[in-house]
Structure 1
Amino acid sequence: MKVLVMYVDEFSYTPAQKNLESAEDVTETGTFTDSILAFIQVEESDEEHDIKSREKKLVNHLKWTARKNNCQKIILHSFAHLSESKASVDFTKEIFDLAETRLQNGGYITAQTPFGYFLDLNLKAPGHSLARIWATL
């Protein structure tokens, strides 16, 4: 799994193009402030492991990043451009849903960008230490 995490002062998206036929139809935009924005790519090799262990590893990384940035809001964004390897759609979506539930149970405010869409993105991210963190999990 590859993850690029950014602390963002502001982040918004607008659905631009549906790229997964089975995705729900979405037209609503989303706007967030003072949040952790996680660009996540679940890889094929992740499917060789227990899904709960992969989800827990992701959540622990996101919680660590949130603590370092004194932040309680976390946005999960599927971003299949961090690696050439891609897990199945179903496995990826399940990790996102499990991670969101675990984060909410931990007191975090969460959101997911529309899964299966290309999005128009706007973001404002400060340039300070730990505002951008890349990891292989």
Structure 2
Amino acid sequence: MKLLLLYAPDYWLKPFEKNLPEAPDASGEIQIQNAVVALIHAEEKDQADSAGVVTKAIKNIKWLARKFQANQVVLHSFAHLSSSKAEPIFAEQLLQQIAERLRSVGFTVATTPFGYFNEFRVHVAGPSLAKVFVEI
């Protein structure tokens, strides 16, 4: 798994175009302030240890959220961080597991529409720590 974690004082997203035919219809916009935005790329090798990958992803997201006192998280499937890609159904399940576990410890979690190209705007804070790349 590859994670690009961004601390965003302001985040906005709107579904643009469905790119997976089996994806449910999505509409509407997401607008969130003071959030960790996690761009998540699930890789083929993640399927061998999905529980471990989920746990490590959550630890990294929580770590950055604590640094900025953020209690909101945006999870966005972003299949552009590696040439190795997991099957879409597996990637979607990973995102759901991460979301459920973060919610269970008090985070407000938004997930962007899976299987869509999206239009989005991210205001990333200036400190170096506001932009973190993690390889799991």
Distance 2:128 2:79 in 1: 25
Task: State whether structure 2 residue 11 is matched by structure 1 residue 11.
Answer: yes
- Find runs of 4+ consecutive structure 1 residues off by over 2 angstroms: none
What TM-score does the superposition give when structure 2 sets the normalisation length?
0.97
Give the aligned partner of residue 39 of structure 2.
39
Give the aligned partner of residue 79 of structure 1.
78
Distance 2:73 2:121 in 1: 16
SS of structure 2 residue aligned to 1:130: helix
Distance 2:99 2:127 in 1: 26
Give the aligned partner of residue 30 of structure 2.
30
SS of structure 1 residue aligned to 2:40: strand
SS of structure 1 residue aligned to 2:51: helix
Aligned residues: CA RMSD: 0.8
C-alpha deviations, 1:22-75, integer Å up to 9, x for none?
1010111111111000000000111122x2221111111111111112111010
Distance 1:62 1:15 in 2: 24
* Identical residues among aligned pairs (%): 35
Quote the offset at 1:129 in angstroms.
Answer: 2.9
